[in-house]
Amino acid sequence: MKPYPFILAMALGVLSGCAQSSIQPMSQDTFKVATTAAPACGPNGARNVAFKTAAVEVIRKGGDKFVLVGDTTNKDFWSGSYGQDMIVRMVPENSREAANALSARGQLGANWQQIVAEGAPTTCA
């Protein structure tokens, strides 16, 4: 048996870059997004997945405006995977801070409803 199908499958998996995120509530208006991404994603891919996950979660929680109040990047020496943690605080629409906050819908783009329905991204592509 030739190893080519196995090598091809591995290469495709590396190129697509798997990622997973978890959400941890921190208060009524604040949560943490913890993302781990495959080495192929790199630090920017991990950051993008975490940011999109944050926007999706803000909308799922019934909001639109948010600010990042914490941001940490790390790399696992042994696996080569990248980690990205973001602390997200939701901002009420009618608050003073709303003018300076990011719009979750705006960050996800015109097809934000489809993205929210699909859930947090699992690839960095």
Using an 8 Å Cβ cutoff, are 82 and 42 in contact? yes
**Arithmetic mean of pLDDT, 97-108:** 97
Share of the chain above pLDDT 90, in %: 85
Q: Which H, E and C letters describe 19-59, residue by residue?
A: EEEEEEECCCCEEEEEEEECHHHHHHHHHHHHHHHHHHHHH
Number of residues in the chain: 125
**Arithmetic mean of pLDDT, 50-61:** 98
Give all domains of the chain, ordered by start, each with its CATH number. 17-102 (3.30.1360)
Q: Rounded to 5 degrees, what angle do the CA atoms 59, 96, 26 make?
A: 45
Using an 8 Å Cβ cutoff, are 86 and 33 in contact? yes
Per-residue confidence (pLDDT) for residue 8, from 0 to 100: 36
Cβ atoms within 10 Å, residue 87: 17
**Arithmetic mean of pLDDT, 33-50:** 96
pTM of the model: 0.85
* CB-neighbour burial class of residue 19 (10 A; exposed 0-12, middle 13-18, buried 19+): buried
**Arithmetic mean of pLDDT, 95-118:** 96
Q: What are the pLDDT digits (tens) for 3-26?
A: 544 343 344 444 456 999 999 999
Per-residue confidence (pLDDT) for residue 36, from 0 to 100: 97
